[in-house]
Chains A and B, each alone.
Chain A
């Protein structure tokens, strides 16, 4: 028996007034909703950017409505210039990777659900939590501001490689103020993420309620906890990288700028720096970042699936958790696989290639656990469950592409082709987004106290599922034939035959975008007009379902929560809440 420490919960009195309740709130639930809303807005902006890119790729001469109003220089007559195309691509990647994929599944749902799932009244540091959101918000505003400044957003990609990103306005449109604002936006995001990770880690360690041992933590909590560690260490390296880049840009230093560079017929004064150093430092963060994106997705699927299969995952909590720990740790030693053709030492290529192949092992184990957990299950095909099944399919499809890219010899050909674009969209853009949708449909009743429309949800799923394969599997094929990424038009001889394929992808992508409005309509309508949700509409087991929908201010109305069961116990078809009295359960 461990000694129970009794302490008065660190409560704060319920806030009053609109500003303290909904705007500057320290309540983790409000902050979670704020993050989720921010991500939704960002997602639609990012998606709109991709529509413009896709239309231009399919019909290079087409004039795109409103574009010339947004940027008369970048899109004269509504047709994006090649440089503006790069600007759109840069901000699409930046907004999607940071403000959607890193924000929603981790900061959005994690903030709302983690304290409740461990049985706490709030996060460990509520005011720090509020600060994290608002710093993220400022970062988003700064990033969005790049669209309305005269020179437009930067053109260097979300990866912002030096020396293009480091030499300043001479490098191209958007490389002046635009790139400065971009670096600032990312710096804000780093700080917010670091502080957020702190909160997640300390809350999971220190604020678990009585009986909530680590072995009884829900798998989504485990995922957020492991992810917070990865996030803490990765963003800690991105921040100085950004600072060094800023110094190169405004301080006249040459950390990343080699000597003898000629830009626009002028020899730059910088010398002595190394663009390769930027890539090393960026990808040291950049690779863990993609796992920061996918780990919460694993957690959401691991959390949602048992509810609708009515049985625990194969291997219980341990296999998935250890797989996630392995993935999180290994994610730090593979970053060089983004740099196989960068000119880095070829010996290093092997050093990075082998761990890249090894990291597939825990990933495959996790996905197989999900797939095999369907065997013998009494599956309830709700919308969240469909999105989980979609996740399994999409992650396998995307992951297989990774096997090819992990090998330097093959990557030499495939690097910077549409194959890579297809690969990372499948693994990040699709798998993680589908898991995020699963979480959205699953937790919507808890967060807003209303049920979403199941029919619309199913339509959303099926149309999206078919269309994402049309868009992104085709990209793999295009990449194999040599289609280069980040090109704004297909004029080279070998790429001209690709144009019909491009148009096919564009049409599918625009349809896919339209389908997302079904989801948006469903979400907004249900928020106000949906049928009221009971406490536990899915007959789930974890602590968030042991309270009202939505939860009261302090999550449990002052009740003492004592946990006696793990998160995946089911008795016949009935779920065993984690707080149920002790009883012998067969098959757990």
Chain B
């Protein structure tokens, strides 16, 4: 267990049972949050599957341009996972300047993802897509599922970028340490992993 997660203490050591997981409680807590969040995303995705199976005129409206944009977004997010790993590494090694660089890159890539995503959203909305409108004349469930699922994921990405901002600031001010960065890293990788399912199910399955 990391000694670095002291807050204020009364000054003396207290003997406890060792943690069976061997990781400190912040990370353990984040893991259980991830389990719950995974179930939340799964519920949305199963709802989408249900709607799709149950509707008559689903259609596959995505042109290659949309798919290409999706591929770029996927590569951006995967790269951000790599930079996040580098950030954790350099934090563990105590290389503050390097860590800042990698954290900054991760946030930048996350922001790029969000911008690409929003660009695509606005393009679709201009074409007539919405939560209950489908310009191709197909089922309106398409827009409902697409915008709600990608919207939930986008919210997680943006929250992640904000969280990383807060962690980076705290790390530089000495309030936060390696374990905080590692915990944030876990969340960031989780958001990437959710995209591993959203992209094939929401984009590729709807490719023309």
Selecting from B40-48, B174-182, B188-196, the interface stretch reads B40-48
Closest Cβ of chain A to B68, distance in Å, is 28
Q: Does A211 contact B (CB under 8 A)?
A: yes
B28/A233 in contact, CB under 8 A = no
Determine the residue in chain A with the shortest Cβ distance to B23.
A206
A104-130 interface bits toward B, Cβ cutoff 8 Å, 1 = contact, 0 = none: 000000000000000111001100100
A205/B40 in contact, CB under 8 A = no
List the A side residues contacting B54 at CB < 8 Å. Answer: 272, 274
A271/B140 in contact, CB under 8 A = yes
Distance between Cα atoms of A3 and B12 in the complex (Å): 19
- Which listed residue, A13, A205, A252, A560, touches B14 by the CB 8 Å rule? A560
Given contacts A11-B7, A124-B25, A201 and B13 within 8 Å (CB-CB): no
Selecting from A151-159, A236-244, A482-490, the interface stretch reads A236-244
List the A side residues contacting B173 at CB < 8 Å. Answer: none
A1-18 interface bits toward B, Cβ cutoff 8 Å, 1 = contact, 0 = none: 011111111111100000
- Which listed residue, B5, B51, B130, touches A10 by the CB 8 Å rule? B5
B29/A124 in contact, CB under 8 A = yes
Distance between Cα atoms of A255 and B141 in the complex (Å): 7
- Which listed residue, A4, A241, A254, touches B15 by the CB 8 Å rule? A4
Selecting from B31-39, B71-79, B83-91, B101-109, the interface stretch reads B31-39
Distance between Cα atoms of A71 and B132 in the complex (Å): 36
For chain A, what secondary structure do more than half of its interface residues adopt (helix, strand, loop), or is it mixed?
Answer: loop
- Which listed residue, A194, A205, A558, touches B36 by the CB 8 Å rule? A194
Closest Cβ of chain B to A234, distance in Å, is 9
B121-163 interface bits toward A, Cβ cutoff 8 Å, 1 = contact, 0 = none: 0000000001110000001110010001000100000000000
Distance between Cα atoms of A122 and B21 in the complex (Å): 20
Given contacts A12-B7, A253-B131, A253-B148, A232 and B32 within 8 Å (CB-CB): yes
List the A side residues contacting B14 at CB < 8 Å. Answer: 6-9, 121, 209, 560
B29/A255 in contact, CB under 8 A = no
A190-213 interface bits toward B, Cβ cutoff 8 Å, 1 = contact, 0 = none: 000010011101100111111111
B140/A254 in contact, CB under 8 A = yes
B36/A211 in contact, CB under 8 A = no
Determine the residue in chain A with the shortest Cβ distance to B15.
A210
A209/B43 in contact, CB under 8 A = no
B32/A207 in contact, CB under 8 A = no
List the B side residues contacting A121 at CB < 8 Å. Answer: 14
Given contacts A4-B15, A253-B144, A11 and B9 within 8 Å (CB-CB): yes
- Which listed residue, B24, B32, B148, touches A247 by the CB 8 Å rule? B148
Closest Cβ of chain A to B27, distance in Å, is 10
- Which listed residue, B1, B8, B35, B51, touches A12 by the CB 8 Å rule? B8
A202/B29 in contact, CB under 8 A = yes
Distance between Cα atoms of A269 and B140 in the complex (Å): 11
Q: Does A393 contact B (CB under 8 A)?
A: no
List the B side residues contacting A128 at CB < 8 Å. Answer: 29
Q: How large is the interface on A (under 10, 10 to 19, 20 to 34, 35 or more residues)?
A: 35 or more
Given contacts A7-B1, A10-B9, A247-B144, A255 and B17 within 8 Å (CB-CB): no
A216-242 interface bits toward B, Cβ cutoff 8 Å, 1 = contact, 0 = none: 000000000000000011011101110
Distance between Cα atoms of A6 and B16 in the complex (Å): 7
Closest Cβ of chain A to B4, distance in Å, is 10
Q: Does A343 contact B (CB under 8 A)?
A: no
Distance between Cα atoms of A125 and B51 in the complex (Å): 39
A235/B29 in contact, CB under 8 A = no
Closest Cβ of chain B to A126, distance in Å, is 9
B16/A209 in contact, CB under 8 A = yes
Closest Cβ of chain B to A127, distance in Å, is 10
B16/A207 in contact, CB under 8 A = yes
- Which listed residue, A7, A194, A272, touches B51 by the CB 8 Å rule? A272
List the B side residues contacting A253 at CB < 8 Å. Answer: 131-132, 140-141, 144, 148
A168-204 interface bits toward B, Cβ cutoff 8 Å, 1 = contact, 0 = none: 0000000000000000000000000010011101100
- Which listed residue, A119, A233, A274, touches B35 by the CB 8 Å rule? A233
Distance between Cα atoms of A11 and B131 in the complex (Å): 49
Distance between Cα atoms of A124 and B28 in the complex (Å): 10
List the B side residues contacting A233 at CB < 8 Å. Answer: 35-36, 39
Closest Cβ of chain A to B152, distance in Å, is 8
List the A side residues contacting B44 at CB < 8 Å. Answer: 240, 244
Given contacts A10-B6, A237-B39, A281-B47, A210 and B33 within 8 Å (CB-CB): no
Distance between Cα atoms of A119 and B15 in the complex (Å): 10
A236/B37 in contact, CB under 8 A = yes
List the B side residues contacting A211 at CB < 8 Å. Answer: 17
Which among B14, B35, B140 has the greatest number of chain A C-beta atoms within 10 A?
Answer: B14
Q: Does A544 contact B (CB under 8 A)?
A: no
A250-263 interface bits toward B, Cβ cutoff 8 Å, 1 = contact, 0 = none: 01111100000000
B36/A254 in contact, CB under 8 A = no
Q: Does A273 contact B (CB under 8 A)?
A: yes
Closest Cβ of chain B to A336, distance in Å, is 15
List the A side residues contacting B50 at CB < 8 Å. Answer: 274, 277
Q: Does A27 contact B (CB under 8 A)?
A: no
17 contacts between A and B (CB under 8 A): A4-B18, A6-B13, A6-B16, A10-B9, A11-B8, A199-B29, A206-B25, A232-B32, A236-B40, A236-B43, A247-B148, A255-B141, A255-B144, A269-B132, A270-B132, A272-B51, A281-B43
Chain A positions near chain B (C-beta within 8 angstroms): 2-13, 119-121, 124-125, 128, 194, 197-199, 201-202, 205-213, 232-233, 235-237, 239-241, 243-244, 247, 251-255, 269-274, 277, 281, 554, 558, 560, 562
Closest 10 pairs between A and B when the two form their complex, measured CB to CB: A236-B39, A253-B144, A236-B36, A8-B9, A252-B132, A210-B15, A240-B43, A208-B17, A9-B14, A6-B13
Not counting A209-B16, A558-B10, a sample of 13 additional A-B residue pairs whose C-beta atoms are within 8 angstroms of each other reads A8-B13, A119-B16, A121-B14, A125-B25, A198-B32, A199-B29, A207-B25, A233-B35, A244-B44, A254-B140, A255-B144, A270-B132, A272-B141
